[in-house]
Structure 1
């Protein structure tokens, strides 16, 4: 797999139909009933173009949710659209913190933007070190919590990446899955050059709908949005943003995050009990595992033969073939993973 293919590899490629899916970090197979009803109610209006008033309602709802002004919100067709738009900012040098979500780097490289990788180290828990980012970088991208390590960086360390003349992009796609969202910068309207990307895909199981948003200064959002076509966000996606920004939905996601944290801790304990499996520290709705040297590829193949999909780690810069990422799943599914993983490791070792 060459560099370009590696950057474009995502968990949905690993999760073929019929496999028990630990590769994709979406919670559940679809949105809750109340949200589904809201989306279905938009279908009768699909003969009309998405309305500016609908977009305004979505921006207002997001603004209320994060203590921002509506003009500081840009509704996106998923946060991945925001990454695809980054070249519109015309950076001279982009720095991308890795291991991390690879789509920002892929989009920048496709547009001919020079990219430098800033690698965190497993030896110190993949801690973010702002002083390692080149001063010449006028665009910096970091995830918080980072995918795939699950590390939640202190907000102060992330803010330290901001600098005059620099755009700081913080990917908070999984922030609402961490109880209390303790290190979010979503409310930080005073940080110069800050863009925060949020996704509704994971918590609300809306991967097929494509819904998210960006938070930032109005002039910065205008630059980001300049190349967009007319009506870039569908009517159902706008409705999803409105619905998921309501106080009731935010409370539901808070309770879900609490439950997810408990499930994550239990899953980490069960996986760590398997001889040869190292569970790396993290706080996201997925876990990064390190397997014994040389075991990664054959173990992943054995798991696939057992009907289980996990996310390969070697397509993330800074990780190797013996890293795998697994989503947090219900206890019965975890039991199946634990048994299959233990069997696979035993078979490969033999």
Structure 2
């Protein structure tokens, strides 16, 4: 069961539904701004290996080539990579393998599956809830010093906050497992940066660090289920012991190999740069609407907004053909929050035009 709250924002309400996700908001006929997955055409360098993998389904999956490719991308030896059936499976493996954790802490608001996995494995979970008045910024001192398992997102879903790598590194210490969810790291960009600012994926010097990655978002592979964990080999061996045999399919392994290639990384960074421009456009349009406050400085493929009466506005948007993500199922938020996916400028203009009409009415 869940333990005490360490800091409660002023509009926190009833216990949220941790099992609710953006796909539940989508229905036929609605324009999807609720799910943070790109839907652009799949490039040939990714599609071709997937098609080829279909001819290899009689053999059991061999993760070794994909593991080596992912390791090379992040400058790690292969034994520091564990392929998973999506990032969600990674959270389940961590929760099961670390059943003896004495004081697990989850930093919220963030993706709900880490806490859901801990609860399902029988853990008592404490929450460090970041303050919306401080733009949900992380203060490492807020995390109890004796927490032996800490989970935090970067960039964080749903706030779109990108925490400084230095702040996250302060949380690492001997005797603690620090899990950083970087499912959206490949959506971040900074002017003049080589890519993925604030990522810890290449850090091998921090004790107990585990980085969770996903290939779902940028490459539109939610239906394939592929992700991976990065960390100390001894820790990953424990997680692998909790994983079913052949958990990652041959097509998913082919995708992991392709998405770790230099071609993929270069394309990823170009996409992140375009996404940043599209995000700035969305933020500018939303900021010009009455009563709408964009939280913090968004850094990922979505933005979080505070809007009094958001629950009613969300329903009226649905009536007009638009799906957005409700915020009240995230711990630390309430009914006046919405998460909106970044789309191309034309879609953003159409959406904010409808939203403006609803607010005026």
Shorter-chain TM-score tier: over 0.9
**Where do 1:153-302 residues align within 5 Å?**
153-179=163-189, 180-280=195-295, 281-292=297-308, 295-302=309-316
- 3-state SS of the aligned residue for 2:83? strand
Pair 1:18 & 2:29 matched: yes
Distance 1:110 1:2 in 2: 20
2:344 is aligned, of 300, 308, 330, to 330
Contact 2:173 2:206 in 1 (8 A): no
Q: TM-score, normalised by structure 1?
A: 0.95
Give me the CA root mean square deviation. 1.3
> Structure 1: which 4+ aligned runs deviate by more than 3 Å?
none
Contact 2:210 2:231 in 1 (8 A): yes
What is residue 67 of structure 1 aligned with on the other side? Answer: 75
Question: Structure 1 residue 29: deviation in Å?
Answer: 5.2
What is residue 137 of structure 1 aligned with on the other side? Answer: 147
Runs of 5+ consecutive residues of structure 2 not aligned to the other structure: 1-12, 190-194
- 3-state SS of the aligned residue for 2:210? strand
Moved more, 338-347 or 137-146: 338-347
1:58 is aligned, of 66, 75, 83, to 66
Pair 1:32 & 2:40 matched: no
The change in CA–CA distance for 1:30 and 1:8 in structure 2 (over 3 A counts) is: farther
Number of aligned residue pairs: 341
The change in CA–CA distance for 1:9 and 1:2 in structure 2 (over 3 A counts) is: farther
Deviations 1:99-150 (A, max 9, x none): 0001000110111101000011111111101111112211000000011111
Question: Structure 1 residue 30: deviation in Å?
Answer: 5.5
Distance 1:45 1:254 in 2: 31
Runs of 5+ consecutive residues of structure 1 not aligned to the other structure: none
Pair 1:48 & 2:42 matched: no
Distance 1:157 1:30 in 2: 37
Distance 2:124 2:172 in 1: 19
Distance 1:2 1:276 in 2: 24
Q: TM-score, normalised by structure 2?
A: 0.92
